[in-house]
Amino acid sequence: MKLGDAGALAGIKVVELGQLIAGPFCGQLLGDMGADVVKVEPPVVGDPMRQWGNGEHKVWWEVIGRNKRSVTANLRVPEGQQLVRDLLADADIMIENFKPGTMEKWGLDPATLHEINPRLIIVRISGYGQTGPYASRAGFGGIGEAMGGWRAIVGEPDRPPSRVGVSIGDTLAATYGCMGALAALQSRAQTGRGQVIDAALYESVLQVMESLVAEYDVMGIVRERHGGILPGIAPSNVYACADGEYMIGANGDAIFARLAQAMGQPGLSADPRYATHVARGQHQTELDGIIEAWTRTLTVDAVEALMIEYSVPAGRVYRAPDMLADPHFAAREAITSVPHPVHGSVRMQNAFPKFSATPSTIRRTAPQFPGEHNAEVYGERLKLDAGRLEKLKAVGAI
């Protein structure tokens, strides 16, 4: 961990009001790039993410809470709402992912906040967006994945829709929210004014659905579930080997010719059934069968050696232990070890993407308890002393 590196967003002040995944992941991305992220948590209980994750130790929080300072503010009481308004008076970006209408109820709506701070960029993440007939509905990432088209095409065709093993709807919306905030910073540099970024979970998923809508509009094609393949993109699959599984992606004509050479079956690339992209897609199942009949005779190591020799895109199917043992991950510092007061250290994915001049870093561990930085942040930003903080605590504001 490179303590002290500033990052591309050094000097940018972010106030994160969101909870669970979408809002906090947006804050994590901005924090990794150097922004000073102040996370506002409910008093005592904090963000529910502190309790999420697998196993005895809930270390998901250590990832999504990194590079943040925690303060508490009860947004359901006027004193807590005023604290947040005061924090936002000189902030650059605010992130929230509450149900639409909630911020308005608290007196934290964009119109009010822009009166206080016209330069403020407001990132609003919600299930269905801030407008439209569904805007007031509650929404989680999984619902966005379903309505955005993802769930319907993931899984085996003879089974109900599956989910990806991570909260992709939430993190996509967070990433689009972050991207919008960065673009708004550039716009503000020209106009001097902030704006609202409206990132809906379902639309964030919709953005990565490739030609799904266009295929239906032009040809009436409704994309369905096809298990581990993309229909018409062949060969591109995970193939069983003698001692494991291996991913091969050789769907380009020249690449497939090299794969055929590696398999010792060069005639496959000249066979009319497999010679072109369209033909391979039409004979996808039988082609996958030919390839797997070959991979089953070899170990993963042997297949990988051939894929490297013949320059065929391919890779192992990794789990966490594989990532931690891989020399490429280590060389690029894709995983880093973050000091931790309880666990000694926690290994996690490093800040990303990589910058050549202003590298993103993990500069501080996740706050260990809600309001850990109340005195620091409220003193620094709002000039509140210990006596004032005690009074705010007494009325349930922090």
Q: Which of 398, 381, 393, 379 is nearest to 81 (CA)?
A: 398
Active site residues: 170
